[in-house]
A and B are shown apart, each in its own frame.
Chain A
């Protein structure tokens, strides 16, 4: 099913979505984002290793896990990139996996920049 919203139209974080699910608690959201970034650093390391070893099962599992964490925080763009990692892993495709990993890094940087410009209050 094609998604009517193109990737570029998406905000790095859908604040109204995530805040609605955590009772509008922005300080809790900050805490969750800190956990997310910490988790991302760990997963990124594992993903790089998985690409080197061509461990596709690991790739798809990590992709799936990142997809869930991203969805929980209203990070729709990251959710999509994580999904493409999962799919590349499942299909055993190395080149798309490498590309998805690079997009992942770009998206995280974009999110960090967005949060720096739009601090949570």
Chain B
């Protein structure tokens, strides 16, 4: 485990370093406050021994700065000082230090105190791990493990914002399994689920790393394509359609012929539609594709979709 030694006294620093290395710590040295602060920008540095008196910025100030920052993991801090009056110890701990030791340091004691620090860090790591798992669980669809609707809308609004800033188009493809209800009715829901999982796995293989794929509802799948204009989105849509419909899907019961239809919509560089309205536009194009006879992809704004809108008007 890495540990920072921030001490302006080279003798004390050297003794600390030697002991810590004997206990298998990887040491990082700083001779003044600003250098300590600089070193602590490394997120893998979770343990720090700070001398109170240091040039530039003292240990207490470094401590306060560490506690004020938000995004970082917890840094366990032991403050060292020759000051051994009660009020100094209280002031040191109040600045945010976890522990306080007077100099010269007793090394057996330091070793034991560092074990406490590691325990705290281990606890935080466990918590963060579980928090990440929960976050992932809350952002994914339970059946297909792709992003859920809330997550995909959040991602789309971020991408639309970024596209507007960077003057790049963002596209959406709304996909739907053709006659999914019939598949469910004919083969049963378990087979329907298996088919949907296969559809998703075929789709995932065909999208770029930067694209995001999510389950919008029932058998509706949404793909968000950052930095993708109307011409590219059409070809991606076609590629996805062929990837799914090209061959039958094997389920436990039977090999099922499955095709999908797709509706595409693009927010061009200048436009600023809301995520919901862009999805709605893609959804209308999807309806047009269904009307056209399914197993096809339609891009919003092309002839056929307009005809449909006129019919609806």
Residues of A within 8 A of B (CB): 21-23, 28, 31-32, 35-36, 39, 61, 64-65, 67-69, 71-73
- Give the secondary structure class of A's interface: helix
In the complex, A65 Cα to B103 Cα: how many Å?
12
Contacts of A61 in B (CB 8 A): 53, 55
Nearest to B107 among chain A residues (CB) is: A21
Question: Contact flags (1/0) for B99-122 with A, using CB distance below 8 Å?
Answer: 000011111000000000000000
25 A-B pairs (CB sep. < 8 Å): A21-B15, A21-B104, A21-B106, A22-B18, A22-B19, A23-B19, A23-B22, A31-B14, A32-B11, A35-B11, A36-B11, A39-B9, A39-B11, A61-B55, A65-B8, A68-B82, A68-B103, A68-B104, A69-B9, A69-B11, A69-B12, A71-B82, A72-B11, A72-B15, A72-B104
- Determine whether the beta carbon of B82 is less than 8 Å from that of A67: yes
Distance between A97 CB and nearest chain B CB, rounded to angstroms: 19
| Chain B positions 1-56 with a Cβ under 8 Å from a chain A Cβ | 8-12, 14-15, 18-19, 22, 51, 53, 55
State the B residues within 8 Å of A (CB): 8-12, 14-15, 18-19, 22, 51, 53, 55, 82, 103-107
Residues in A neighbouring B12, C-beta threshold 8 A: 68-69, 72
The residue from A23, A64, A71, A72 contacting B53, defined by CB atoms under 8 A apart:
A64
Q: What is the distance, in angstroms, from A106's C-beta to the closest C-beta of chain B?
A: 20
- In angstroms, Cα B55 to Cα A93, docked, is 22
Q: Closest approach, in angstroms, between the C-beta of A3 and any C-beta of chain B? A: 15
Most buried by B among A31, A64, A72: A72
Q: Which residues of A contact B104 (CB under 8 A)?
A: 21, 68, 71-72
